[in-house]
Chain A
Amino acid sequence: MSIPYLSIISATPLVAAIIIMLLPRERVTWPRWVALAGAAFSLILSITVVAAYKLAAGGYQFLETHSLLPSLGIQYALGADGMALAMVLLTGIIIFAGVLASWDVKERPQEFFALLLILVSGVFYVFAARDLFLFFLGYELAVLPMYLLIGIWGTGKREYAAMKLTLYLMLGSALMLVGILAMYFAGGAQSFHLDHLRHVQYSRGFQITFFPILFLGFGTLAGFWPFHTWSPDGHASAPTAVSMLHAGVLMKLGAFGIIRIGVEMLPIGAQVWVPYLALFTLVNIVYGSLVAMAQTDLKYVIAYSSVSHMGIVLLGICTLNPIALNGAVMQMFSHGIMTGLFFALVGMVYGRTHTRVIPDMGGLASRMPFLSMAFVVGGLVSLGLPGFSGFVAELLVFLGAFRVYPLLSAVAVTGILFTAIYVLRVVQKMFFGPDKPAFDHVGDANWVEKSCLAILMLVLLGVGIYPSWLVNLINSSIGPLTQMLEVVR
């Protein structure tokens, strides 16, 4: 009897959430310790499964299957391949850092951490699910706590943002559900299991009809232009850890879904549609970075930069080229960590300066050297500096994309330049320049914050310098996928 790693990883946050809700209310510091313990446990197990994954064998490992609703063919089926494991690891890292970043939540910490952990549990289930129903269930579990988290602990126009974000994501999940049910019924309505559905020979017309529906459904979550506007408002209003999780992990859910369900299940539809969709991803990249340039609210800058970076992920997917697909998943990982770092930093800077308006800041580098350094690191990853993970990811995407859409990729490269411009402008305006008397009394990060940031930075650096360990993992699932695409073609 092998250890059901994936079940434990996914259920741990849920269990921790329940424990947190059972804690005595007057113990306000207990919830965060329980949350940290849960997150750490998940993280350690995530690292363990990544290490335990047999690269040579490839395919799905750590399989678990139990019947849930036999009459509808719903199973509790978990299993992970290289790509899923990369995402599980990403989630583990982000929630751990996220708990650290929200160490000082004062308002209803019990509910906050519980909801946060429930959300993460849903995310884990999505990444590990081998059953479409479970996948969808996990997805909804991940999206719904978001509403409360933003609505209650958010800032600014939080009700508006929470409503917008939730409705938007519900729209996405409605489209997704249509696609999922169509696949289920076209597959004979026997099973939601992905292995079953993968062997259904969907007709060409079916694939062409439902691929765009699935793509849009998932794409909405991934910030696909023009369905991205929930992201700036949502991220700007969300509390730190939620922004981290949302931009860091939830947006990746969308991209993951496109690959796992869209491309893998409906390869013909994908091949027909991607040339058109690729054009939109170009808009994502260039437009996102140009819009980010004009923002004055720090969180909006980062939110739009996410739109731009997710454009690179989507571009990589839309090539259906093995190199670019590897790059896309790498970018999912890299951007997840990077944007987690960014939002954590924004939260910490905001907690000190009480402003997010970039022109109001300045000269912070001498007041908070560590935070500034971390921000510069984040910025450098964002603009694709070699030595950090973002470069590897973007390089792979562009290398692959160039083979499929040379002109389009050449234009997309300009996005990197614009990214450099806005990142450096932000860094300059926030951290450089003469000291401002308004910030005379702000201090640098404390040890909790430092450890949160340090973890994220080390991951970025580690992947950037020696990307092979991660790329090999991802490649073990992209390789077979693209072989299958070749056969279908």
Chain B
Amino acid sequence: MLEHAWIIPALPIAAAALVGLLGRRINRFAGWITSAAIAGSLLLALRLMWDVLAHPGVKEITLPWLQTAGGLMIQMGMLIDPLSSVMLVIVTFVSLMVQVYSLGYMAEDEGIGRYFAFLSLFTFSMLGLVLSNNLIFLYMFWELVGLSSYLLIGFWYKKPEAANAAKKAFVVTRFGDMGFLIGILVVGYFLNTFNILALGDAVKAGKLAGGLATAVALLLFCGAMGKSGQFPLHIWLPDAMEGPTPVSALIHAATMVAAGVFMVARLFPLFAASETAMLTVSYIGGFTAIFAATIACVQDDIKRILAYSTLSQLGYMVMALGCGGYTAGMFHLTTHAAFKALLFLAAGSVIHAVHTNDIWKMGGLCRSMGITTAVMLIASLALAGVFPFAGFFSKDEVLVSTFLAGRMDLLFVGLLTALLTSFYIFRMFFVVFAGKPATDKHAHEASWVMTIPMLLLSILAAGLGAATAPFGHFLQASFGAPAMETEYHGRLIPALATLMAVLGFAWAYLVYLQKAVSASLLMRRFLPIYTLLKNKYYIDEMYQWAVQRIMFVVSRALAWFDRNIVDGAVNGVAWLCRLTGDGLSRLQQGRLQTYLIMFVAGVVIIIMVVLASNPTVLAWMK
């Protein structure tokens, strides 16, 4: 099976190419074709994981791709280890769920063929990224992931907001990728290899140390910040909600944002080589976690709440990775993939039913949409980290990893974030599903193609927690077990986390269901904070300002400079030539005798020259 792992990404891309080339003629079957392809990939990925489980260890398959003079050798290759096999399953599973769901959700869209082609391209890119065995191919698929997200976010290109969001997503992540690319260049220069395993060995051999290691790690982390939406490159993620909702599910669960976390995990030895880098990574993660959670508390758009929730949870993962919690981060990624995909699909189902994103225009949906309510509840509990749902275990692991790393400040941040998480998700849940219907329109439960994926995902969101221990052991086989993680068997941290979840739940319950505390009163009391949060800390405005006032001004200034100074110099030279010509043509004034004098003067000069070169003629004078 291992040698045939390439089929896993090949199936989706083949399906995408087929659907893309045949175009609108097969619109009706497009989704079925791509879904079938991805189902095939999923089966193969499961089989692959089975093989890896049976024979743990790291396998590498390479093919030469590019070779030049000067010792450059880039190979195309696959790295199959527990990490990649787990990611393959996550990616194919979530993708399949999203595809099937989309069959219902997007059924009436005229560009459905294009949609499924892009979706499959997305899956392909992510699978390729997961399988890459070297930085160059990692980067290549990394960029393709960015492209796919661009295409999908901007799928409804006629909506200016969607087109803008797509562009923003691409540019912001590319900003991070720039750092990533420079990091790759630095690595290539100093370690002279791009192979991930070889890099691990090189780091172990101590070839990367000190400031260099920090610089490399931080540069590479720039890429992860962009893709995984870490502060301050998080601004694209909420806007990406302009895309179709299943796409959001895919982006937020299994593909785009997971890429950053995956990359850090994949290149963990490089990060672990620098204490400073790890510290920075963990603080950025922690800050993003609480920062995004606070914003999520006041949003009105259901998808935006989930988007900021994703940011916050990604912060968790990054924080864990920064604390050396390699398996914790990956495990949270896995459970998060399940429950966040579920949250989005459920949200999509709601939006599909009520045709609005504003939670205040929903309400009382639990009566008409039973299944959706149920799965949303499961997902919310998982997100809030309530025992025994998956989120509880993974969040616990994250918090434990901060504790074990001795970062009490981060542990505190994590707990506080857990409180906020619980609050905002139940706020959303209560407002949307409980209470009285906000409109008279009667909402219907979605069709089976949409509910079945949700049900499947909810099983995972509920039950994945059982896999905690085996998951950890399995993953440790990659990179031969990072030594940082020791076992923790205390009860304090799970207890605290649960307490936080319950507190958050209670707060939301009191404010939004019981209305014991008036939400508007709270809002007025903390108006400045509310305004600040509502406006997302004005980060977007700052970027806007920086782009408009600095970049475009510089750009326009340079354009002016080019037209008027550089080209002006050129035209100036032309003008000077013309002026000289004009000036010299004044000599041609039409007066015969001037010409005559010129002529004779010329003769005089020639005679002088001749005489000067022939001094004997005038020798008598001396």
- Which chain A residues have a beta carbon within 8 Å of chain B's beta carbons? 164, 167-168, 225-226, 228-230, 233, 287, 290-291, 293-295, 321-323, 326, 363, 365-366, 380, 383, 385-387, 391-392, 395-396, 398-400, 402-403, 406, 409-410, 413-414, 416-417, 420-421, 424-425, 428, 431-435, 466-468, 471-472, 475, 478-479, 482-483
Q: A295-B559, A417-B171 are in contact. Are A402 and B68 (CB under 8 A)?
A: no
Q: Is the CB of B158 within 8 A of A291?
A: no
Q: How far is the CA of A387 from the CA of B148 in the complex (A)?
A: 13
Q: Which residues of B contact A414 (CB under 8 A)?
A: 178
Contact of A385 (CB < 8 Å), options: B144, B185, B551, B555: B144
Q: How far is the CA of A417 from the CA of B182 in the complex (A)?
A: 12
Q: Is the CB of B555 within 8 A of A290?
A: yes
Contact with A along B148-167 (1 / 0, CB 8 A): 00100010011010111011
Q: A391-B140, A392-B66 are in contact. Are A293 and B167 (CB under 8 A)?
A: no
Q: How far is the CA of A293 from the CA of B141 in the complex (A)?
A: 27
Does chain A have a CB within 8 A of B466? no
Instruction: Jot down 24 A-B pairs with beta carbons below 8 A, ordered by A.
Output: A164-B570, A229-B567, A287-B558, A291-B559, A291-B562, A293-B555, A294-B555, A294-B558, A363-B158, A365-B157, A385-B147, A386-B144, A396-B68, A400-B70, A406-B186, A409-B185, A414-B178, A420-B170, A425-B167, A434-B160, A466-B65, A468-B67, A471-B67, A475-B68
A59 to chain B, nearest CB (A): 14
Q: How far is the CA of A471 from the CA of B64 in the complex (A)?
A: 13
Q: How far is the CA of A466 from the CA of B552 in the complex (A)?
A: 37
B130 to chain A, nearest CB (A): 15
B173 (CB) vs chain A CBs: closest residue = A420
B162 (CB) vs chain A CBs: closest residue = A432
A165 to chain B, nearest CB (A): 11
Does chain A have a CB within 8 A of B403? no
Q: Which residues of A contact B162 (CB under 8 A)?
A: 432
Q: How far is the CA of A380 from the CA of B144 in the complex (A)?
A: 10
Q: Is the CB of B157 within 8 A of A431?
A: yes
Contact with A along B57-82 (1 / 0, CB 8 A): 00000001111111010000000000
Does chain A have a CB within 8 A of B175? yes
Q: Is the CB of A322 within 8 A of B185?
A: no
Contact of B66 (CB < 8 Å), options: A167, A380, A467, A479: A467
- Which chain B residues have a beta carbon within 8 Å of chain A's beta carbons? 64-70, 72, 136, 139-141, 143-144, 147, 150, 154, 157-158, 160, 162-164, 166-167, 170-171, 174-175, 178, 181-182, 185-186, 188-189, 551-552, 554-556, 558-559, 562, 566-567, 569-570, 574
Q: A291-B562, A294-B555, A391-B140 are in contact. Are A482 and B70 (CB under 8 A)?
A: yes
A194 to chain B, nearest CB (A): 21
Q: Is the CB of B158 within 8 A of A410?
A: no
Q: A287-B558, A432-B163 are in contact. Are A399 and B69 (CB under 8 A)?
A: no
A253 to chain B, nearest CB (A): 21
Q: Is the CB of A420 within 8 A of B174?
A: yes
Q: Which residues of A contact B166 (CB under 8 A)?
A: 428
B175 (CB) vs chain A CBs: closest residue = A417
Q: Is the CB of B69 within 8 A of A479?
A: yes
Contact of A471 (CB < 8 Å), options: B66, B157, B164, B566: B66
Q: Is the CB of B69 within 8 A of A468?
A: no
Q: Which residues of A contact B141 (CB under 8 A)?
A: 386
Q: Which residues of B contact A323 (CB under 8 A)?
A: 68-70, 72
A265 to chain B, nearest CB (A): 20
Q: Which residues of A contact B64 (CB under 8 A)?
A: 468
A366 (CB) vs chain B CBs: closest residue = B158
Question: Apart from A228-B566, A294-B552, A478-B68, what are 14 other A-B pairs with CB-CB below 8 Å?
Answer: A226-B566, A293-B552, A294-B558, A321-B70, A322-B69, A323-B69, A326-B68, A380-B147, A383-B174, A395-B136, A399-B185, A410-B182, A416-B174, A428-B167
Q: How far is the CA of A472 from the CA of B139 in the complex (A)?
A: 23
Q: How far is the CA of A354 from the CA of B216 in the complex (A)?
A: 50
Q: How far is the CA of A85 from the CA of B321 in the complex (A)?
A: 50
B114 (CB) vs chain A CBs: closest residue = A369
Q: Which residues of A contact B562 (CB under 8 A)?
A: 229, 287, 291
Q: Is the CB of B65 within 8 A of A468?
A: yes
Q: Is the CB of B143 within 8 A of A386?
A: yes
Q: Which residues of B contact A421 (CB under 8 A)?
A: 171, 551
